[in-house]
């Protein structure tokens, strides 16, 4: 007999990052009894790491900005595979969500006139990122948490969800365990919102925290939801490369937004050599113009360092591959050079990029006001995720919603920097609003004991074995393999091989052994993360093998060009009746004429 504690809510939110908290605040504001679960402590969700800012066309710094320009930038960045309705709602609603955050107590950096300050970022035509130095995520989480706690939301910290429970087709609750004592918990709920973030821990080099094991993606998939765009994994161009213990930690795009430049070992600004035709008209063709742009000259075009992340990452990789990289396998990112232009350059760097200054000083013993940083690509963001209705954020499973990084659609083939925090606010709020509506006047679903029994048994298996492999070894081999075979540059044979390797890793997973007991046992937690990591890795590899072109974050060495044919569909995966993934190429929905016109006008 399995022992567990039972709790009950109208709306249950899985995840206490920006998306989860936004959803919880809205659902609770609509009168629902709301609970929030998180794998880590409150305040520790990955959102807290967000640095550069939140994109919202408030036009405080450049009056030419508008939701239409933001919409066009987002679609161009996503190479037009985005869900246009989500891109429209996002661009239209982000300014109000930022102002709402301010009303609830967030203190943003200010313009001289006292308005919220906005900074430049890759792929955004005008300065658009509202920010708090380079600690924007911290301010966002702090504000939402304070607001949520005062609204009376129930928080259940350090609780990990293992499975979603269903009553027939609809969602009825979730089953999980508390990390501290290892006790099982059942949460009954009329509506469940997944806000579990990304999948970065499927790769070896990543900017992502330990929580990012693709749980929400895998939970939704196994519960019958569809997953969209799984081939699009964003590799951020600038992660730390040295020393090895900190490899992958993010170096914010804000460094380039403030005038930082990329150079190879010969001191050359190589980004000027490769400007994609889609961006030619908007990109500076000389260093002087690029500098003026970063200093707010409205007539200047942005420097090529601020091209989209996929492109910059590939250019860096090319420099390294062709022998022009830095000593530790990256390139140089130099912000110290701005002292040639600004007499108080060192103070500007410390004021505008305080976290970067401390990060390099403490982790790499480098003073970025004096020396360049060494940087290289790092697995950063998952564009793919749960396919949702663009207005309500509900998945194909009635009562199951998703928002934030674990949902998909807004970003298409590539996300622009700053568009995640705004995504969390806009679609987190929408998910909360619609989940509360869904739960209203609905009876709680029935709980099937067999589902609980089977989830608990599977969870405890690693303790029952008398010997076997360490879960860390399986996780490590998976990360190496994904980095190698389904990384920045992909080819068919390697991805087919990856799927075969994942099947072998699954067999090894079925033989993992964990010593000790259930109390704060990290090995056990890793064993339970493995099924999710393997599920998402397989779906990424299958989708990536099927998209026979290069677009956005997905680059195929065997198909290096964009294909007009592939521009017409998204890849959708669901779990078939035999338990195997079923892949469908789903045609894009026709865009309304007025949105098409906006894109044409902004070209």
Active-site positions read 236, 256
Helix-helix angle 419-439:18-29, to 10 degrees: 40
Q: How far is the CB of 36 from ligand FAD (least distance, A)?
A: 8
Is 177 one of the binding residues for ligand FAD (CB under 6 A)? no
Cβ closer to ligand FAD: 38 or 66?
A: 38
Q: How far is the CB of 229 from ligand FAD (least distance, A)?
A: 15
The closest residue (CB) to ligand FAD is: 17
Cβ closer to ligand FAD: 417 or 471?
A: 417
Listed ranges 90-98, 143-151, 204-212, 561-569: which one lies at the site for ligand FAD (CB under 6 A): 204-212
Is 15 one of the binding residues for ligand FAD (CB under 6 A)? yes
Cβ closer to ligand FAD: 20 or 259?
A: 20
Sign of the Cα torsion 54, 60, 64, 66 reads: positive
Q: Say if CB 86 and CB 427 are below 8 A apart.
A: yes
Listed ranges 88-96, 291-299, 419-427, 444-452: which one lies at the site for ligand FAD (CB under 6 A): 419-427
- Paired tokens of 497: 């091989």
Q: How far is the CB of 364 from ligand FAD (least distance, A)?
A: 16
Q: Say if CB 412 and CB 81 are below 8 A apart.
A: yes
User: What are the backbone angles phi and psi of residue 486, rounded to the nearest 5°?
Assistant: -130, 40
CA distances from 330 to 135, 204, 258 (A): 25, 16, 21
Q: How far is the CB of 323 from ligand FAD (least distance, A)?
A: 29
Is 199 one of the binding residues for ligand FAD (CB under 6 A)? no
* Bridge partners for 381 per DSSP: 234
Q: How far is the CB of 211 from ligand FAD (least distance, A)?
A: 4
Is 214 one of the binding residues for ligand FAD (CB under 6 A)? no
- Give the x-and-dash track for 489-528 against ligand FAD (CB under 6 A): ----------------------------------------
Interface residue with ligand FAD, options 11, 13, 18, 284 (CB under 6 A): 18
Is 160 one of the binding residues for ligand FAD (CB under 6 A)? yes
Is 215 one of the binding residues for ligand FAD (CB under 6 A)? yes
Is 124 one of the binding residues for ligand FAD (CB under 6 A)? no
Q: Say if CB 308 and CB 77 are below 8 A apart.
A: yes
Is 250 one of the binding residues for ligand FAD (CB under 6 A)? yes
Residues binding ligand FAD: what is the number (CB under 6 A)?
40
User: Biggest alpha carbon distance in the chain?
Assistant: 72
Q: Say if CB 407 and CB 399 are below 8 A apart.
A: no
Using alpha carbons, select from 212, 164, 141, 578 the residue that is nearest to residue 395: 164
Instruction: Determine the Cα–Cα distance for residues 394 and 370; give it in Å rounded to an integer.
Output: 50
Q: How far is the CB of 19 from ligand FAD (least distance, A)?
A: 3
- Give the x-and-dash track for 23-62 against ligand FAD (CB under 6 A): --------------xxxx----xxx-xxxxx---------
Q: Which pairing describes strands 184-194 and 400-402: parallel, antiparallel, or unpaired?
A: parallel
Is 429 one of the binding residues for ligand FAD (CB under 6 A)? no
Using alpha carbons, select from 160, 185, 153, 39 the residue that is nearest to residue 436: 153
- Paired tokens of 125: 């035509």
Is 348 one of the binding residues for ligand FAD (CB under 6 A)? no
Q: Say if CB 42 and CB 222 are below 8 A apart.
A: no
Is 161 one of the binding residues for ligand FAD (CB under 6 A)? yes
Q: Say if CB 48 and CB 137 are below 8 A apart.
A: yes
Interface residue with ligand FAD, options 145, 208, 395, 475 (CB under 6 A): 208
> Could you write out the DSSP letters of every residue in 359-393?
HHHHHH---TTTSPEEEEEEEEEE--EE---TTT-
Cβ closer to ligand FAD: 51 or 538?
A: 51
H/E segment holding residue 55 = strand 54-55
Using alpha carbons, select from 427, 409, 39 the residue that is nearest to residue 226: 409
> Could you write out the DSSP letters of every residue in 102-167?
HHTT----B-TTSSBPEE--TT-SS--EE-STT-HHHHHHHHHHHHHHHTT-EEEETEEEEEEEEE
Cβ closer to ligand FAD: 259 or 559?
A: 259
Instruction: Determine the Cα–Cα distance for residues 54 and 418; give it in Å rounded to an integer.
Output: 5
Listed ranges 11-19, 82-90, 288-296, 365-373: which one lies at the site for ligand FAD (CB under 6 A): 11-19
Q: How far is the CB of 600 from ligand FAD (least distance, A)?
A: 27
Q: How far is the CB of 196 from ligand FAD (least distance, A)?
A: 4
Is 418 one of the binding residues for ligand FAD (CB under 6 A)? yes
User: What are the backbone angles phi and psi of residue 181, rounded to the nearest 5°?
Assistant: -110, -10
- Give the x-and-dash track for 362-391 against ligand FAD (CB under 6 A): -------------------x----------
Cβ closer to ligand FAD: 160 or 570?
A: 160
Residues within the interface to ligand FAD (CB under 6 A):
14-20, 37-40, 45-47, 49-53, 136-137, 160-161, 195-197, 207-208, 211, 215, 250, 381, 404-405, 417-421, 424
């Amino acid at each position: 007999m399995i022992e567990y504690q039972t709790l009950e809510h109208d709306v249950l939110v899985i995840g206490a990052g920006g998306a989860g908290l936004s959803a919880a605040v809205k659902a609770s504001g609509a009168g629902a009894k709301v609970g929030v679960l998180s794998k880590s402590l409150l305040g520790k969700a990955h959102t807290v790491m967000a640095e550069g800012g939140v994109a919202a066309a408030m036009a405080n710094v450049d009056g030419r900005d508008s939701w239409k320009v933001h919409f066009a930038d987002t679609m161009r960045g996503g190479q037009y595979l985005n869900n246009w309705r989500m891109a429209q709602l996002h661009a239209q609603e982000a300014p109000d969500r930022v102002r709402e955050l301010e009303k609830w107590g967030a203190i943003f950096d200010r313009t001289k006139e006292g308005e919220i300050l906005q900074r430049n970022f890759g792929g955004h035509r005008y300065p658009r990122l509202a920010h708090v130095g380079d600690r924007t995520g911290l301010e966002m989480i702090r504000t939402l948490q304070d607001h949520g706690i005062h609204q009376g939301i129930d928080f259940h910290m350090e609780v990990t969800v293992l499975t979603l429970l269903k009553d027939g087709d609809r969602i009825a609750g979730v089953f999980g365990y508390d990390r501290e004592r290892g006790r099982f918990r059942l949460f009954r709920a009329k509506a469940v919102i997944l806000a579990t973030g990304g999948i970065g821990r499927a790769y070896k080099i990543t900017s992502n925290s330990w929580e990012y094991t693709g749980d929400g993606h895998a939970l939704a998939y196994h519960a019958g939801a569809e997953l969209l765009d799984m081939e699009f994994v964003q590799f951020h161009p600038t992660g730390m490369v040295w020393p090895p213990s900190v490899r992958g930690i993010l170096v914010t795009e804000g460094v380039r937004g403030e005038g930082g430049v990329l150079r190879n070992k010969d001191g050359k600004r190589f980004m000027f050599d490769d400007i994609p035709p889609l961006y030619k008209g908007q990109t500076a063709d000389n260093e002087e113009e690029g500098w003026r742009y970063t200093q707010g000259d409205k007539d200047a075009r942005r420097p090529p360092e601020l091209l989209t992340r996929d492109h910059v990452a590939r250019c860096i990789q090319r420099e390294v591959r062709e022998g022009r990289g830095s000593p530790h396998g990256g390139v140089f990112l130099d912000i110290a050079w701005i002292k040639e232009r600004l007499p108080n350059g060192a103070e500007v760097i410390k004021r505008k990029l305080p976290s970067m200054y401390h990060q390099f000083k403490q982790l790499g013993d480098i003073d970025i006001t004096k020396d360049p940083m060494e940087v290289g690509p790092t697995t950063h963001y998952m564009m793919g995720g749960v396919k949702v209705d663009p207005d309500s954020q509900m998945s194909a499973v009635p009562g199951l919603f998703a928002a934030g990084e674990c949902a998909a659609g807004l970003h298409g083939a590539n996300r622009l920097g700053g568009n995640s925090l705004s995504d969390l606010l806009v679609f987190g709020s929408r998910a909360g609003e619609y989940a509360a509506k869904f739960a209203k006047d609905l009876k709680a679903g029935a709980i099937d004991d067999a589902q609980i029994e089977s989830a608990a048994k599977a969870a405890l298996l690693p303790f029952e074995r008398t010997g076997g492999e360490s879960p860390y070894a399986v996780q490590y081999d998976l990360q190496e393999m994904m980095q190698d075979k389904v990384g920045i540059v992909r080819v068919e044979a390697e991805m087919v091989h990856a799927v075969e390797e994942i099947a072998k890793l699954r067999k090894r997973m079925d033989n993992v052994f964990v010593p000790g007991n259930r109390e704060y046992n990290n090995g056990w937690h890793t064993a339970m993360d493995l099924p999710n990591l393997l599920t998402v890795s397989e779906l990424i590899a299958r989708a990536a093998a099927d998209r026979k072109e290069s677009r956005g974050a997905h680059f195929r060495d065997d198909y290096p060009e964009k294909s007009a044919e592939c521009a017409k569909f998204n890849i959708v995966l669901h779990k078939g009746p035999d338990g195997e993934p079923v892949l469908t190429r789903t045609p894009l929905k026709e865009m309304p004429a007025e949105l098409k016109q906006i894109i044409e006008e902004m070209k």
